[in-house]
Structure 1
Amino acid sequence: MNTFFTRNRSKFAAHMESGDFAVFFAGSAPKSTADAHYSFLQNKNFYYLTGCKQEHFILTLHKNDTSVETTLYIEKPDYDIEKWIGRKLTREQAKDISGIDNIHFLSAFESNMTRFIYDNKIKRILLDLEKLDWNAHDADSDRFARDILKRYPFIQILTAHPILSQLRMIKDSFEIEQIEKAVEMTKDGLDAILKILKPDVFEYQLDATFSHSIRMAGADGISFPTIAASGEDGVILHYVENAKPMKDGDLVLLDLGAQYQQYAADISRTYPVGGRFSERQKTLYNSVLKAQNAVIDAIKPGFLFEDLNKVCQESLFNSLKEIGLIEKKEELSKYYYHGVSHHLGLDVHDLGNRTGALEPGMVLTVEPGLYVAEENIGIRIEEDVLVTEEGNRVLSIGIPKTVEEIEAVMSGK
């Protein structure tokens, strides 16, 4: 596997200029309360470049005219600590995972940085400086940037995030295999849900059934908090309470995914709690399905990402106008109020541009929806789709989604 991570570092280094220095941090789990911490979530850019899933590690790359010097800093194994919190990676294990020969302990990082800056006359340092929110908490890279500028004001700090975003947007065969495995586990989890889905079952039981199924299959866990929204809560895009019993005659909207080897699946299905759709539910459901098929048909290299949502909106508008729910296009936003697609990969909402032409190797979600609050109906259908040289391939093709398929499965046929 380390050839994949070695290749990723080489692709990143190709965007560096001679003399550039890059630093990446694995991150750490924040404190929750007392002496407890939240579960550690690996910085996905660090994982993309190293394959390591441990806290506190640091990666550095220095590019000169002829080569790239790569160093991985790891925690020093200490039995007195390990017997409380678990084993640390040895140098040999870190080397085997990452493909990096030059391994140091974290205690050497600051002194090595000082000497490196002095000896190599470093003028530019690239850091993963991603801010999605003005008030977002500072990451290790933000704090390091301040420290560098305080000590070495002549050094220019640049963000490496756009480079990594561009690289991660195009998946290679190894990544596609991991996503396909995550999708397969997600299908199994949905199959398990359908076996217990009936009136008076609680939403959290669907949530628990899914988590149990994918973990038993070998998944890392869920790729994001499971949404099991029935009845009136189906119109809430990120409903995660999953707290109430489901009613006969209602729909339940499921948005969920397994994570496998750090790669995510993201699938949505909408099922009738009682096993059969009403005629009204069927009409609205088929409107969503028609829009999804139109978007999938449009996916091919060269098609503009931003035009996918236009295809979706046009299809939904025509369907809703035909049944008399709306008359004008501007009314559509009352019933459809999100985009139809995002990139998928190491993150559920993966890095990548949401403008410009589609390219082979991109993995996208296609998730149209309709949310009719006055009728307590929320419907979303989501597939994971690979852009290929010829067009596209639906990675989640085996998960039942037509009215007829769903009702047949739920009736035991």
Structure 2
Amino acid sequence: MKSLKFLFILFITISLNYQAQTPTDFLSKEFHKERREFLRSKMPENSVTVVFANPLRNRANDVDYVFHQDPNFYYLTGYREPNGVLVLFSDNQTDEEGKSYNEILYVQERDERAEQWNGKRLGVEGAKQELGFKMAMNASEFLKSNIDFKSFDKVYIEKFNDDYRDLGGADVFNLVKNFKMKAGYDPSLYLSRVQEYVYNNIAETPIESSANVINIIDRLASRAPEINNDELIKGYKSATTDELKKEYQQKISLALKPKTNIDLTFLSANLTTMREVKTAAEVKLITKAVRISAVGQIEVMKAMKPHMSETELQGIHEFVYKKYGAEYEGYPSIVGAGNNGCILHYIENNQTKVGNDLVLMDLGAEYRGYTADVTRTIPANGKFTKEQKQIYDIVYDAQEAGIALYKIGAGMSAPNLAARKIVNEGLYKLGIIKSVDERHNYFPHGTSHHIGLDVHDPGNYRNFEENMIVTMEPGIYIPDGSPCDKKWWGIGIRIEDDILVTKNGPVNLSAEAPRTTEAIEKMMAKKSVLDDFLLPDLDK
């Protein structure tokens, strides 16, 4: 009896020690359950939502990329493995034993050999205990299930990308294939987003204003070839009388009506609204990710020297992330020296010496699924030149003006407009553009996007609401060969911070990383712990 008691205590001790050595600050199962319940509350009677996990993606030969879960699937389940399906019912269902349920999570099956090679799987029991699902099954059961999707008034899914490999068995490829067959999914019944946009414009616009719609069609035609091949759009556009236009308008109105019970818009629209406003638990994780990223910027400021490479600087950032326990980078890291900083999404990071140029560093840690997005631009030699400082201060002033507008109820386009005005005025004063109204490409992007489970988290972009976390990132980019004085060439500057919208005004979550030229130079003058970190020269 004593030996059994000893073994039980030993088992509990080992289990607790194992748990203590793995992260415990992921979102709780209660968070995910509440998110599912909120989504269910938006679903009409006799409807069902089906969400698929991400598949494994191949890197090369027999090596796969590190798995990353579909953000919406993770948001609703907390499941961090491939080959899963969530089925969420609006109404209670009854199984063969008379038990009531309103959701099922299908997970990849436990497999001793697979787990020996690739790590432990959660399995059915894990899904029940750790994720809180009362009804969990192996994914193979989804392939055999008798759910009659055609019997529901509405079946809500996201649009399929159909970019999965067929790995056999109950993988995402076969789970999606099986669902399509059972539900009668026919992609030809759906309009593209551009087609739907044009159709709605035609249906809702009075005939006497049809010229406005035709202008929209002409603007979109070069980017969306499906418009040029659409017989109804071509007929509407070429109609020579109002009567003929009305006929096409009526046909288009009919074409907008659903031809199937499978809906591709409800799920994305509702999850967008849910995810753009963060819960307290999400704010906590994002704040951690942002602060980790800010510390990375600080350590690089102290460590940077002209002889360093872009790759080495990237490595310092990402070492800091790992030191704090961040699982990944939230997106490919951008470290661009000189003219490379004028490439918005420069990710090669292969310049061997940054020299005396400015270095634009746009990086973000992903912590427990949530990503930061922080950018600083600093002089590799620790001192801004006169020209660099002049451009930098314009960007800084534009950012300050924008951040001040992150207030509850304010329009989300306001910061961008304010920043653009300051940038244009500043470029004009320096003689880089000829007038404040001149069209130019020195500031080619917007300033504000949501962050969260995605670095560009979904959002409706209407008005600021409490607990939104949105970037503020003006920039000026003057690549070599620009139509201005050569002294400005190769200057690329972006300052990006992550702003929490609160009742008391905007809170800059990444404020720890210096932003002013004076504060950056002061930080860069400090000693780095890496100053004495020397490795052997392998080329000698």
Q: TM-score band (shorter)? A: over 0.9
Partner residue, 2:158: 128
Partner residue, 1:147: 181
Q: Distance in 2 between matches of 1:370 and 1:117?
A: 52
Partner residue, 1:75: 108
Partner residue, 2:449: 342
**Residue identity matched to 1:150:** G
RMSD: 2.3
Partner residue, 2:20: none
**Pick aligned residue for 1:399 from 508, 513, 516:** 513
CA contact under 8 A between 1:123 and 1:155: conserved in structure 2? no
CA contact under 8 A between 2:473 and 2:497: conserved in structure 1? yes
CA contact under 8 A between 1:2 and 1:96: conserved in structure 2? no
Higher alpha-carbon deviation: 153-162 or 51-60: 153-162
Question: Secondary structure of 1:14's match?
Answer: helix
Identity %: 33
When residues 203 and 29 of structure 1 are mapped into structure 2, their CA distance, relative to the original with a 3 A threshold, is same
**Pick aligned residue for 1:157 from 229, 244, 262:** 262
Partner residue, 1:389: 503
Q: Distance in 2 between matches of 1:204 and 1:278?
A: 24
**Pick aligned residue for 1:358 from 464, 486, 491:** 464
Q: Displacement, 1:247?
A: 4.1
**Residue identity matched to 2:262:** I
Partner residue, 2:83: 56
Partner residue, 1:240: 347
Following superposition of structure 1 onto structure 2, how do residues 92-131 of structure 1 map, counting pairs within 5 Å? 92-112=125-145, 114-117=146-149, 121-129=151-159
Q: Distance in 2 between matches of 1:42 and 1:19?
A: 29
Q: Are 2:302 and 1:272 equivalent residues in the alignment?
A: no
Q: Distance in 2 between matches of 1:212 and 1:149?
A: 47
Partner residue, 1:206: 313
**Pick aligned residue for 1:196 from 287, 303, 306:** 303
CA contact under 8 A between 1:251 and 1:271: conserved in structure 2? yes
Q: Distance in 1 between matches of 2:279 and 2:314?
A: 31
Q: Which is higher, the Rg of structure 1 or of structure 2? A: 2
Question: Secondary structure of 1:365's match?
Answer: strand
Question: Mind listing any 5+ residue stretches in structure 2 that lack a counterpart?
Answer: 1-27, 94-99, 165-171, 190-258, 481-488, 528-540
When residues 333 and 149 of structure 1 are mapped into structure 2, their CA distance, relative to the original with a 3 A threshold, is farther
Instruction: Pick 1 or 2: higher relative contact order, CA cutoff 8 A, min separation 6.
Output: 1
Higher alpha-carbon deviation: 270-279 or 185-194: 185-194
Q: Displacement, 1:142?
A: 6.7
Q: How many residues align?
A: 405
Q: Displacement, 1:117?
A: 4.2
CA contact under 8 A between 1:129 and 1:142: conserved in structure 2? no
Partner residue, 1:259: 366
Q: Are 2:73 and 1:46 equivalent residues in the alignment?
A: yes
When residues 301 and 3 of structure 1 are mapped into structure 2, their CA distance, relative to the original with a 3 A threshold, is same
CA contact under 8 A between 1:340 and 1:365: conserved in structure 2? yes
When residues 117 and 239 of structure 1 are mapped into structure 2, their CA distance, relative to the original with a 3 A threshold, is closer
Residue deviations 1:196-216 (CA, integer Å, cap 9, x gap)? 211110000011111111112
Q: Distance in 2 between matches of 1:115 and 1:242?
A: 50
Question: Secondary structure of 1:336's match?
Answer: coil
Q: Displacement, 1:362?
A: 1.1
Q: Displacement, 1:164?
A: 0.7
Higher alpha-carbon deviation: 302-311 or 198-207: 302-311
**Residue identity matched to 1:166:** T
CA contact under 8 A between 1:383 and 1:395: conserved in structure 2? yes
Q: Distance in 2 between matches of 1:300 and 1:91?
A: 45
Question: Secondary structure of 1:359's match?
Answer: coil
Q: Displacement, 1:320?
A: 1.5
When residues 34 and 246 of structure 1 are mapped into structure 2, their CA distance, relative to the original with a 3 A threshold, is closer
Q: Distance in 1 between matches of 2:34 and 2:503?
A: 22
Q: Distance in 1 between matches of 2:81 and 2:111?
A: 15
Residue deviations 1:17-49 (CA, integer Å, cap 9, x gap)? 111011111121122332222221200000000
Q: Displacement, 1:334?
A: 2.2
**Pick aligned residue for 1:169 from 263, 266, 276:** 276
**Residue identity matched to 1:403:** T
Q: Displacement, 1:96?
A: 3.4
Q: Displacement, 1:176?
A: 0.5
Question: Mind listing any 5+ residue stretches in structure 1 that lack a counterpart?
Answer: none
CA contact under 8 A between 2:335 and 2:346: conserved in structure 1? yes
Q: Displacement, 1:240?
A: 0.8
Partner residue, 2:222: none
Q: Distance in 1 between matches of 2:354 and 2:36?
A: 52
Q: Are 2:335 and 1:308 equivalent residues in the alignment?
A: no
When residues 111 and 122 of structure 1 are mapped into structure 2, their CA distance, relative to the original with a 3 A threshold, is farther
Question: Secondary structure of 1:59's match?
Answer: strand
Partner residue, 2:475: 369
Calculate the TM-score normalised by the size of structure 1: 0.92
Calculate the TM-score normalised by the size of structure 2: 0.71
Higher alpha-carbon deviation: 281-290 or 136-145: 136-145
